[in-house]
Chain A
Amino acid sequence: AQTVTQSQPEMSVQEAETVTLSCTYDTSESDYYLFWYKQPPSRQMILVIRQEAYKQQNATENRFSVNFQKAAKSFSLKISDSQLGDAAMYFCAYRSPRGTASKLTFGTGTRLQVTL
Chain B
Amino acid sequence: DTEVTQTPKHLVMGMTNKKSLKCEQHMGHRAMYWYKQKAKKPPELMFVYSYEKLSINESVPSRFSPECPNSSLLNLHLHALQPEDSALYLCASSSGTGIGYTFGSGTRLTVV
When distances are taken between beta carbons in the complex, the residues of chain B under 8 Å from A95 are 97-98, 100
- Judge whether B61 is part of the interface by a CB distance below 8 angstroms: no
Interface size on B, residues (CB 8 A): 31
- What total of chain A residues lie within 8 Å of the partner, measured CB to CB? 28
Interface centre among B92, B95, B97, B102 (most CB of A within 10 A): B97
- Tell me the bound Cα distance from A82 to B98 in angstroms: 27
Is residue A75 within 8 Å, beta carbon to beta carbon, of the partner chain?
A: no
Q: Does B78 make an interface contact (CB < 8 A)?
A: no
A97:B42 contact, CB within 8 angstroms: no
Contact A100 B100, beta carbon cutoff 8 Å = no
| B17 nearest CB across to chain A (Å) | 23
CA distance A103 to B44 in the complex (A): 10
Q: Which of B41, B51, B90 contacts A45 (CB 8 A)?
A: B90
